[in-house]
Chain A
Amino acid sequence: MSDCESFDTALAASPDLNRLARRARAHAGSCRRCAALLRDLELIVERAASLAANASEPDPPPQLWDQIRRQLEKEGVIHANGRTTPRRAKPRPKSGGGPLPRLVHSTPRSGG
């Protein structure tokens, strides 16, 4: 097995780049191909973490809460008038009370 193949194997076996085997990291220090690969993967990991930490989280559609609330009222989980009343356990069918209505979007939304 060539050093590059060994490097690829080490990467696949241990995707924690900070714990990449010393030998594999040493190889990347002397091989342009493997150095570029390691650099790219480190960049992807770093940017993905940054994206998760800093991305603005979109609001769900405004009608989502109304749908949830209506369903919970129907099931007796919450009370329509907003009173605070102890909730009684109520047996529900396994399906969770039948199929839920899908949200109907008033405006087209992208699928991606």
Chain B
Amino acid sequence: MTLTNRALATESWNEAEAIDRAKQGDAEAFAFLYHRHKRRVYSLCLRMTGNTAEADDLAQEAFLQLFRKIATFRGESAFSTWLHRLSVNVVLMHLRRKGLPEVSLEETTEPTQEDGPKRDIGSPDLALIGSVDRVNLERAIHRLPPGYRTIFVLHDMEGYEHNEIAEMIRCSIGNSKSQLHKARMKLRDLLQLPHTQGAARS
């Protein structure tokens, strides 16, 4: 079958059919599933690591694990949910291997020297209205310490509940809540920094 013919054949597939075919080792089915979900998985990896090189490797690893395990997919949850959870686990495993604390108890919301002089958190003249555009927020999320970023992305962006996060991160629900609060406070700090906003404008 030529490439064009194969591409035409896969156009008519639905996901369930592709999954069944992938379970049989059909190369085109794997390609179909990869291209259907690659952006979602890659974006997740990028958000959680804040690093394109790591995101590349982790997306690769997530799809390899997916395809190795696809025969075990029984359809009890949506395929996309299954893949998403698998991808999150791949990233978390990576963070563990790197030795980075997923939940840093050392992190505080105090500005570092690099962040400039200490300010009173909550000062009403530093309201964020206007500074929380997409670019600024993305930059600030990337600048979060890894432990904070993980919790923030999982809860506030990916929609996981604290009990799910606690299970994935292997921490208590209270710790997940506490770290989420600290992550938001840190973001608030970062979004109020003049150089963060200046960088976004350039």
Closest to A68 in B: B63
Cβ contacts under 8 Å, B65 to chain A: 96
- The yes or no answer to B168 lying at the interface (CB within 8 A) is no
- A14 x B142 contact (CB < 8 A): no
Instruction: Give the interface residue-count category, chain A.
Output: 35 or more
Cβ contacts under 8 Å, A80 to chain B: 27
Q: Which of B44-52, B77-85, B95-103, B110-118 contacts A (4 or more CB under 8 A)?
A: B44-52
- A43 x B23 contact (CB < 8 A): no
- A47 x B178 contact (CB < 8 A): no
- From B52, B122, B158, A109 is in contact (CB under 8 Å) with B52
CA distance A43 to B138 in the complex (A): 14
Cβ contacts under 8 Å, A60 to chain B: 38-39, 41-42, 55-56, 59
- A68 x B56 contact (CB < 8 A): no
B160-192 vs A, Cβ < 8 Å mask (1 yes, 0 no):
000000000000001001101110110110010
- A48 x B137 contact (CB < 8 A): yes
Tell me the smallest distance from the CB of A73 to a CB of chain B, in Å.
8
- From A32, A49, A69, B27 is in contact (CB under 8 Å) with A69
- B39 x A44 contact (CB < 8 A): no
- The yes or no answer to A1 lying at the interface (CB within 8 A) is no
Cβ contacts under 8 Å, A81 to chain B: 27
CA distance A49 to B71 in the complex (A): 34
Report if A40-B128 is in contact (Cβ < 8 Å); known contacts: A12-B178, A64-B60: yes
- Most A C-beta atoms less than 10 A away, residue of B46, B133, B159, B188: B188
- The yes or no answer to B123 lying at the interface (CB within 8 A) is yes
A42-61 vs B, Cβ < 8 Å mask (1 yes, 0 no):
01110111011001011111
- The yes or no answer to A72 lying at the interface (CB within 8 A) is yes
- From A11, A55, A64, B43 is in contact (CB under 8 Å) with A55
Tell me the smallest distance from the CB of B146 to a CB of chain A, in Å.
13
Closest to A4 in B: B122
CA distance A85 to B21 in the complex (A): 9
- A39 x B127 contact (CB < 8 A): yes
- From B34, B127, B191, A68 is in contact (CB under 8 Å) with B34
Docked complex: B126-141 residues within 8 A CB-CB of A: 126-129, 132-134, 137-139, 141
Complex A-B: 21 CB contacts under 8 Å? A15-B177, A34-B122, A36-B123, A36-B127, A40-B128, A44-B128, A44-B156, A48-B137, A55-B43, A57-B40, A57-B43, A58-B42, A72-B64, A77-B68, A78-B26, A81-B27, A82-B6, A82-B26, A85-B25, A86-B25, A96-B68
